[in-house]
Chain A
Amino acid sequence: MNRPAASAIKSSVPGAVTARRIAIAVTILALFAVPYVITQVYYVNIASQVLLYAVFALGLNVLVGYAGLVSLGHAGLFGVAAYVDAYLLAAGHGHAVAILAALVAALVATAGFAALALRATGISFIMITLALGEIIWGLAYRWISITGGDNGISVSTRPEPFGLSLDSPRAFYDATLVIFLIAVAAVAIFVRSPFGAALAGTRDQPRRMNALGFHVWMIRFWAFMFSGLLTAVAGILFVYYTEFISPQALALTASAEGLLMVISGGAGTLLGPVVGAALVVIVKNVASAYITRWNFMLGAIFVAIVVFMPEGLVPGAVRLARSAWRARSRPKPATVVARPQQ
């Protein structure tokens, strides 16, 4: 959607790389310390929710931000993974089998989504993904013999990786954090890889990329698969977090919430979706504590961000900070800040 603000700020200071590494290490330590600082179960759970939705938003951002393809059907993929996992667990299978099957099923569904939706780009792509997502929702809602319909499926146990129990909120937070960090690292590597560069090329100049001999469709397809994989991981985390799955988690509102996370944080930036996920989850929880009209707020925030801050909060803040810094450091010539093209 939006072009990323000049992604890597190359600093001429030699110590910058070390400083960056230290900053990353400190951030990771701080994230692990969260449940020790805010000890109340409620807040630890919200932190887990932020992280699992951040994985969802990171996955969606691969498509929306880096491929320039806006999907409104990702909650469907999230749901396929969640439902397959929950269904197999309810049928008495082990966690390893259920998780593996859930990932495979979600990837198959993603391939189907991609094969159909990638016949178009732009607005038609949105429409097709929306219709596909709604169909998955319809299956979850109506195919009662498998999905339990509105009653959903309950999951009674969490997996125990390496014999560690995830039953306590703190342990679950730690596990979610590890997966979240892996997801961030994966997206970071992906974006900086030649494939990531090619993907950005197909977003900005598909015809030139085609002329240069790149297989635009195939690049988009694999980006979709990567996006679907992260989404499926988030779906599985969601099932284990809530220990329950119902069609509500697949509704169009869920896809829209994911998209709101991506565009509010800033599409096409690495950490924008994470900020967006934190924002949406926190606002949603705060809002539902005081008012019952979350959907109204979701819509209103959507409209406000699209109309007033189309580039998202992170790039918006970066832009404002930079122009403030420039204005201070030299007498300001009359410049016009170009609005980013949609």
Chain B
Amino acid sequence: MTFWLLLTVNSVTFGGLLFLLSAGFSLIFGLMRIPNLTHGSMFMVGAYLGTSLLSGALGFTLNFWLAAIIAAVEVAVLGALMERLLLRRLAGQQLAQVLVTLGVSFMAADLCLMGWGGDPISVATPPGLTGFVRFAGAAFPLYRMAVIVIAVVFAIALWLMLERTRLGAMIRAGVDDPQMARVVGIRVSQLFTIVFALGAGLAGFAGMIGGPILSVYPGLDQDMLPLALVVVILGGTGSLLGSFVGSIVVGFIYNFGQALLPELAYFVLFLPMVLVLVLRPQGLFGGQIL
């Protein structure tokens, strides 16, 4: 019983991390119509930058949360630069854009290997959250509960942003029909930069937040990107609700798979994807952004 409860909490935690990662991925896909294959790299770069800020490699040490936020901002800037300098040159050529993101992801992975070496870096759990919550005879790590809370807060904030603000309305219009959005005077190409930076920042933040759970290692990008892909294939592109539900589903399947069939954990992820592709190719919530 305790085992299952713990596994459930771990699944929800991992789902929360995946949501932070895939919400941006899904929005970028919805708006720009391309899968951003650097998204796993952004997750990893955020984590690496965060660990550097934490460890004092730059001459000063920061609080965990501050480090996470600064890392997220740095990754967001990198994302905006990439959108402006590379993807913008290839506007309208989706295939070329996808290939460029793929090329950049390889460059990023190699640069990280060069900068931070090949050994995994573990990230200390922020002080104050190292304890446990006791419930139903089991001890749940406080930090994992915190990650769930953060994910839920971000989900609500993103939903409010999309639903209640002018920017959100413009993004929804852009996802629905970019041409019409342009006609009514929305600067869609500016939205591209904003959403790309937002998605990058979220991914970088998720990387750092995930650090105490996953640690940081070369290949983290390649571990996370397919998960984000599966989440978006499950949930439907451009859908916030879809990426939320998809993340939780993938979190459960991945964690339960790892516990019950450790050798086939990656493979069992395949099954829901197959089902969705066969029964509902547009994804569970495809076509609706919220």
Contact = CB atoms under 8 A, between A and B. Distances in A.
A-B complex is real: yes
Interface of A: 1, 70, 72, 116, 119-120, 122-124, 126-128, 130-132, 134-135, 138-139, 141-145, 251-253, 256, 259, 263, 293, 295-296, 298-303, 306-307, 310, 342
B173 to A, nearest CB: 21
Given A119-B281, A342-B95, A342-B96, A299 B107 contact: yes
Contact of B270 (A135, A142, A299): A135
Interface in B174-211: none
A263 B277 contact: no
B86 A299 contact: no
Contacts of B108: 299
A117 B271 CA distance: 14
B281 A302 contact: no
A95 to B, nearest CB: 28
A221 to B, nearest CB: 15
B229 A127 contact: yes
A255 to B, nearest CB: 9
Interface of B: 33-35, 37, 86, 89-90, 92-96, 98-100, 102-111, 114, 222, 225-226, 229-230, 232-233, 237, 262-267, 269-270, 273-274, 277-278, 281
Contacts of A302: 99-100, 102-103, 106
Contacts of B230: 131
A158 to B, nearest CB: 30
Nearest to B267: A139
Given A131-B230, A139-B266, A300 B89 contact: no
B263 A306 contact: no
Given A116-B274, A263-B99, A295-B110, A138 B266 contact: yes
A259 B102 CA distance: 11
A222 B262 CA distance: 35
A267 to B, nearest CB: 10
Contacts of B273: 116, 131
Contact of B93 (A116, A134, A145, A342): A342
Given A138-B267, A142-B266, A306-B99, A296 B35 contact: no
Nearest to B94: A123
Contacts of B105: 299
Contact of B114 (A138, A293, A298): A293
A142 B265 CA distance: 8
Contacts of A123: 33-35, 94-95, 98
B99 A143 contact: no
A119 B281 CA distance: 7
Nearest to A64: B95
Contacts of B34: 123
Contacts of A142: 262-267
Contact of A296 (B94, B95, B107, B225): B107
B100 A307 contact: yes
A127 B35 contact: yes
A75 B222 CA distance: 15
A310 B57 CA distance: 41
Contacts of A253: 106
Q: Is the interface of A mostly helix, strand, loop or mixed?
A: helix
13 contacts: A119-B277, A132-B270, A134-B226, A135-B226, A138-B266, A142-B264, A253-B106, A256-B102, A259-B99, A296-B106, A302-B102, A303-B86, A306-B96
A120 B110 contact: no
A122 B94 contact: yes
Contacts of A132: 270
B106 A299 contact: yes
Closest 8 CB pairs of A and B: A138-B266, A302-B103, A299-B106, A299-B107, A296-B110, A134-B226, A303-B103, A342-B93
A307 to B, nearest CB: 6
Nearest to A342: B93
B61 to A, nearest CB: 30
Contacts of B264: 139, 142-143
Given A135-B226, A143-B263, 16 more contacts: A72-B102, A116-B273, A119-B277, A119-B278, A123-B94, A131-B229, A131-B230, A139-B266, A142-B262, A143-B264, A253-B106, A259-B99, A296-B107, A299-B106, A303-B104, A342-B93
A315 to B, nearest CB: 15
A215 B89 CA distance: 37
A298 B104 CA distance: 10
Contacts of B225: 134, 252
A225 to B, nearest CB: 19
Contacts of A300: 103, 107
With most chain A CB atoms within 10 A of its CB, the pick from B90, B106, B237, B277 is: B106
A303 B90 CA distance: 11
A145 B35 contact: no
Nearest to B40: A252
Contacts of A303: 86, 100, 103-104, 107
User: Most chain-B CB neighbours within 10 Å: which of A252, A253, A300?
Assistant: A252
Contacts of A251: 222
Contact of B109 (A131, A134, A295, A310): A295
A126 B263 contact: no
Nearest to A144: B263
Nearest to A307: B89
Nearest to B35: A127
A144 B265 CA distance: 12
Contact of A306 (B100, B110, B226, B267): B100
A251 B109 CA distance: 13
Contact of A145 (B96, B100, B263, B269): B263
Given A123-B35, A295-B109, A299-B105, A307 B90 contact: yes
A80 B229 CA distance: 22
Contacts of A299: 102-108, 110
